[in-house]
Amino acid sequence: MAEPESLKEEGNKYFRSGQYEDALRCYTQALELGSLNDSEKAIIFKNRSACRLKLNDHEAAVSDASACLELAPNDPKALFRRCQALDALGRVEEAYRDAVTLLKIDPKNNAVQTIFNRLNPLVQERLQKQNSLTNKVSQMVSLAFDLSVSKDKRLQALNNLIVLAREDAGAELICHKGCINQLAALVREKDADFIIAATRILASLAKTSKQRAATVVNTLDLNLLLLVLGQASAEVGRSITHLLQTILNVYVGLEEYQAALKHYEQERKKGERLRYPQLSLNEEQQRYVDQLMNHLVRMIDSGKVTAEGRDFAMELLMKNITMKKGVGWTLKFLDTTGIEGLLTVAGTQKQFKSLAVTDHSRMHASVILSTVYEDLIADKHREKFKEKCTNFLKELFGDEIIESKIEAIEVISSLLQGPYEVGNMLLGIEGVVQIMFTLANSDNIHYQRVAVEAIVNSASKKNQCSGVLKDAVPILKKLYQSADESIKVRALVGLCKLGSYSGGDVSEQPFADGSTLKLARICRKFLVNTSKDCDLRRWATEGLAYLTLDADVKEELVDDAAALNSIFDLAKNPDYKMTYACITTLVNLTNSYDKQEIIPEMAELARFAKQHVPEEHPKDKHEFVVQRIHKLAQAGVTNALVCLSGTESCNSRELICRVFLALATEQSLRGLMVQQGAVKVLLQLLENNTDTGAVLAAHSLAKIAVTMDPNTAFPGQRVYEVVRPLISLLHHDRSGLQNFEALLALTNLSSVSENIRNCILENNGLQSIEQLMFEEHEMIRRAATECMSNMVMSPKVQELFERDNDRVKVLVLFAGEEDLELMQAAAGALANMSTNHKLCHKITQVLEILMALTRLDGEERAGVREYAQAALDKAVELELIRPYDANADAGIIFKRAPDVKQMEDIVEAAEGEQKESDSEDEKAKAQTNTDNQKAHEKITDSCPKDKDFKQRDVTNETGLLSNVGEELVEGEKISKCDGVLLSEQEEVKRDTSEQEERKCDTKEEIS
């Protein structure tokens, strides 16, 4: 095992060479050894803080600097680095305090003085605002809680306090005024407006501070709050639910836990081995969680709770009960009566009025049942879940009351929509299917509706459809003839569902030819009839969501403008039941679902083995899909997607992204998408989405950015927001097409302004671009080089190229590739860098290659010759090189020392030696030409002829360039252009002096 001191020295070495991540790793390993005294720990913490500053990890830099100061109080470097990090985080007051302390320790420190001069006016301005804020808070508090003031003025004051509480300074002042007790008293008021205002203020106070959240928890009576929730209206219930969720996020620590989970998943993708995060609660937090959850469980089937209050209670359980992302209360929930309560809600019929429920209550119960079941890992726990459901159902079937049978079938229907495995198990109980069919054949409309919905839900899986098909189709056909349209449309959806279970496989159709089209036309009749209520149209859309797996149905639907407009109109309805049906239909119409690639050899093998091989419908070919996409775009599908994007369902948001990507694939539609607000929505869809959905949204943005002017497509701040998702597409896990189009998009963006180039750099985009420059695929390699050509215009990127690395050599190497566009991109990058004096000096180290590029033949390589000559001309202008002889053929002298007179002396000495002996001169020239011919051949050989430039060969390629450079300077040989090089010793001296200058920079000094 390495010693801490050697690890520290290794980290210092990496830091000086600009390899900050490697330096960070060494310092961290040194600290983990644990055999350090306080002084050594302080030094390593201080150095690690410097690394984190360079990596823009300012929070961690503050933490490391603070750790150093605990061990070595008033350490100047640690104070300075913490001051820098706090300043970058916008914590002005804390940074100002560190700057003042530093000036007391070292009054002559100019760097600190600069920071102090900048922060001082900001702090003074904030003090003035603070004084003004204090007056505002005092005035609003006096009005809000003065009973003699009118209600309108009190409510206005409370609303103003909501705004003030959103900032830390205002929130602290409100707490210091003792307002939490007064706000808790307002919750007891019977006036809903005061309850809403009070709970919103309390939520704002708790949102940004764990300490304030704890104060709210200790002051507010939870039982009283939940009692109000149980009797609340929709608005009051929403505000109380928001307050309780905020307390769970901040006080219990769900936000931190979910952030840790996200970090764990990201690091796991990189191959890092980390311990799975755990939510650790202290005794008080656990007591609060248990009290809250137990009360919510009791509210599920309580007769004293309003329908809206019951829904809000189930929403809180739904979001927070799981072990994966919540408070880990699933097993405790299994030991309560929660399962039975949810099944009671799922089976409740509004007509019977046995329990107050809304139209959404049954779906809420179904979702929670599914969430709990999926969160159970052990088989014994799942068996316990199934046992509870079975016992509940047997109890309902055990009596002779017909209403109990209705509720039992409704329970099974809800389970089929949630934990399907459990619902299917209950459906297999002897006599259940017969009861369901009996209810469907009855004359009671309500019984028929419950039964047909259960039949529809039971046919959700393909392997179950074939079993139900034989017995269910006659019943559904009979119900379709019903005079009641609600029964008719449900039976229609059941037939649609059974008729589409083969998917897009044209060789396997469950119904006779033409039956699917007939069903689709009937569904469209329900859609276009605007006199029908939304529920009937929603069911018709759901039927089309299944039938549009058939390509003939797709073609007819996209030509029916009235039906499309009706679907788009339904998309504006915020009802989640409408959302999924609408978006599924659009996904099917655009063929944007995942398709399993069929390998021809495997298909032949399957046919030989007499296995079924799915066949694609002729109208699902690419040309038909493109036509459908254009028709949908002209009909206004983008506006419909914008309306649908408000859903909170991650799966629905992924489907929306799929349709957007299908639209963005067509270049002619991208302008229309931007015009109708697609960019803004795609940026919103990056959040609260599945991993696949976020990638699809980023890919859609990349396609838009490839062909459109960034100033038009991404106006204002939006151009910076799109950088991060584009960089995420450069990851090696993404497809080659995603890599390629993201590179093209970043190339387009990086040409706009220096600020965007800096944004790409700050989000670690440069490293990803460099990695893709060594991809095997020539188009990806070319696109990455083109992007780098724009990035090198940034002074910050040029600073990275100035360091001791082979970046310049790689670009020169690419400029000699056979791929013409790659050559032009690399040559353009070299030309852009030639404005930098230090980079010109580095270019001269591989000047032979540049000179060779100026002599390439062919008109198609004229651009490369022009860029290479421009780089040489710039080097002459900066006096790094100069013509040796005006009569010579483009002779160049390498000038690597700052003293021009020294160069002239070397030239005169070379000329004098040349005149001493003609015979010796001829021999030397002959030998020189031979050596330079070998060098030129080696340079030419170093440019790979194979277009597939693999990343693993980079070290060998750049190493070859280094060897060429060493051969050129060895023994101060004369170049093929009759130039003279300075000695290697003088070059080393110059590099050493530059290193000494860099060491003088106090901001990067390492202990």
Q: What residue ranges do the domains of the chain occupy?
A: 4-134, 149-222+231-251, 282-426, 430-498, 500-595+615-708, 892-1004
- Say whether pLDDT at 449 is over 70: yes
Q: Angle formed by the axes of helices 432-440 and 445-458, to 10°?
A: 130
Instruction: Tell me the three state secondary structure of residue 894.
Output: strand
- Read off the pLDDT band of 966 (50, 70, 90): very low
- Say whether pLDDT at 901 is over 80: no
pLDDT at 468: 58
pLDDT: which is higher, 566 or 997 = 566
pLDDT: which is higher, 608 or 641 = 641
pLDDT: which is higher, 494 or 319 = 319
Residue 802 · residue 765 · CB < 8 Å: no
Domains 282-426 and 430-498 share a fold: yes
- Read off the pLDDT band of 390 (50, 70, 90): very high
Average pLDDT, the chain: 81
- Read off the pLDDT band of 1005 (50, 70, 90): very low
pLDDT at 897: 36
Q: Which CATH number fits domain 4-134: 3.40.605.10, 2.40.420.20, 3.40.390.10, 1.25.40.10?
A: 1.25.40.10
- Say whether pLDDT at 419 is over 80: yes
Count of CB atoms situated within 10 Å of the CB of 741: 21
Question: How much is the average pLDDT of 261-275?
Answer: 81
- Ramachandran assignment for 803, one of left (phi > 0), alpha (psi -120 to 50 degrees), beta (any other): beta
CATH code given to domain 500-595+615-708: 1.25.10.10
CATH code given to domain 282-426: 1.25.10.10
- Say whether pLDDT at 213 is over 90: yes
**Exposure on the CB side of residue 986, measured as CA atoms within 13 A:** 16
Question: How much is the average pLDDT of 231-237?
Answer: 87
CATH code given to domain 430-498: 1.25.10
Residue 385 · residue 376 · CB < 8 Å: yes
- Say whether pLDDT at 887 is over 60: no
- Read off the pLDDT band of 892 (50, 70, 90): very low
- Read off the pLDDT band of 928 (50, 70, 90): very low
Instruction: Tell me the three state secondary structure of residue 863.
Output: helix
pLDDT at 464: 55
**Exposure on the CB side of residue 934, measured as CA atoms within 13 A:** 11
C-alpha dihedral sign at 26, 27, 32, 33: positive
Q: In which element (H, E) is residue 521 found? A: helix 515-528
pLDDT at 249: 93
Residue 307 · residue 357 · CB < 8 Å: yes
- Say whether pLDDT at 147 is over 90: no
Tokens of 202: 């309390």
Q: Domain 149-222+231-251: give its CATH superfamily.
A: Leucine-rich Repeat Variant (1.25.10.10)
pLDDT at 500: 67
- Read off the pLDDT band of 131 (50, 70, 90): low
Question: How much is the average pLDDT of 694-708?
Answer: 94
pLDDT at 976: 32
pLDDT: which is higher, 253 or 466 = 253
Residue 115 · residue 95 · CB < 8 Å: yes
pLDDT at 832: 87
pTM: 0.68
Chain segment 841-861, per-residue pLDDT in tens: 777 776 666 677 777 777 777
Instruction: Report the alpha-carbon distance of residue 637 to residue 51 in Å, rounded.
Output: 49
pLDDT at 943: 38
- Say whether pLDDT at 724 is over 80: yes
Question: How much is the average pLDDT of 693-717?
Answer: 93
Instruction: Report the alpha-carbon distance of residue 712 to residue 650 in Å, rounded.
Output: 29
